[in-house]
Structure 1
């Protein structure tokens, strides 16, 4: 019979749990990606997410620098008595630049970005570029906070692109089904993806 003492600590993978929290509803205002916060309905939904995740014993909080992402996990961090660390590389993927594409133009650009990971809309960012600047943050968190539960204030595209880097089922159709807010519990053994599941909440 093998005994736990037959293994070194390096042989035992530590489970780390990340909670990707897509921001709640925020009224769109072109050119105000960084500072626009939550709508009234978004604030109510963020509180509902907080109530649901209070029981998850989350220990560490990080976020995109966008205000709507910070605001969505702020109550949860306050409940836990923690501050939120901001990682600029987790900002939302820009699909349009200075020009407002409108709903139809935005939807078409978004679809093309998922069909071709190297397609970069004018003034925007390709899927590959967005994934390559966001994923190193996740790897850093897994190394520096192994074994902990971490909440990440994020966005629909960044959430989809990160999950899609581990499992190709997380694609454009998945992005279309996301709600505001939305929560996914993602488990890792060491730095190896071990699965993701949607976390339901009651508003």
Structure 2
């Protein structure tokens, strides 16, 4: 049976904090995102609890008369609990060393596992077409699980918003980027 997931990175936000809302541009992007995904047949919407993720998908959910299911496992990955001057270099390293663990942070393997746990549950359920809204780093790690070629370079190219379609059919997985803003 064909299952299709639309993995969505949130629209532009005012910051990185969990309660950071969308910018005014981000609100317009959320409407454009709803226009793009409206005719895709989406039956379920699952989102990170962060405000920017919820606000990014709210226009679509409203147009489809769907509730937004919140899943805490879709929150952004924390690389390190304290700011790092060399955070980009460490992030690059985390895409090749999936077990790299920085103080108070989460390894790529750990973040990927919690994101994939959401996907695995969704694949066992009835709905065939699902939108999953998350954040850039976790999105890239989820996609890396299905396509080992996904690396820091793909993360760096992600836009706000961004959408990848992941299709599952007869044991095969197909990953395709749909948009970049």
Bin for the TM-score computed over the shorter chain: over 0.9
Q: So what's the TM-score if we normalise by structure 1?
A: 0.83
> Is residue 198 from structure 1 mapped to residue 177 from structure 2 by the alignment?
yes
Change (3 A) 1:105 1:193: farther
Gaps of 5+ in 1: 1-13
Q: So what's the TM-score if we normalise by structure 2?
A: 0.93
CA contact (8 A) 1:166 1:193 kept: no
Aligned to 1:51: 35
State the distance in 1 between where 2:6 and 2:155 align: 17
Q: How large is the Cα RMSD of the aligned pairs?
A: 1.7
> Is residue 61 from structure 1 mapped to residue 45 from structure 2 by the alignment?
yes
Residues 151-162 of structure 1 aligned to structure 2 (within 5 Å): 151-162=131-142
Change (3 A) 1:161 1:174: same
Q: Secondary structure at the match of 1:183?
A: strand
CA contact (8 A) 2:15 2:21 kept: no
Of the candidates 108, 118, 126, which is equivalent to residue 99 of structure 2? 118
Q: Secondary structure at the match of 2:131?
A: strand
Aligned to 1:163: 143
Residues 25-104 of structure 1 aligned to structure 2 (within 5 Å): 25-29=12-16, 32=17, 34-97=18-81, 99-101=82-84, 104=85
Aligned residues: 181
State the distance in 2 between where 1:144 and 1:62 align: 13
State the distance in 1 between where 2:120 and 2:133 align: 16
Query: After TM superposition, where is structure 1 displaced by more than 6 Å over at least 4 residues in a row?
Result: none
Aligned to 1:136: 117
Aligned to 1:174: 154
State the distance in 2 between where 1:127 and 1:193 align: 24
Gaps of 5+ in 2: none
CA contact (8 A) 1:118 1:127 kept: yes
State the distance in 1 between where 2:153 and 2:172 align: 21
Larger Rg: 1
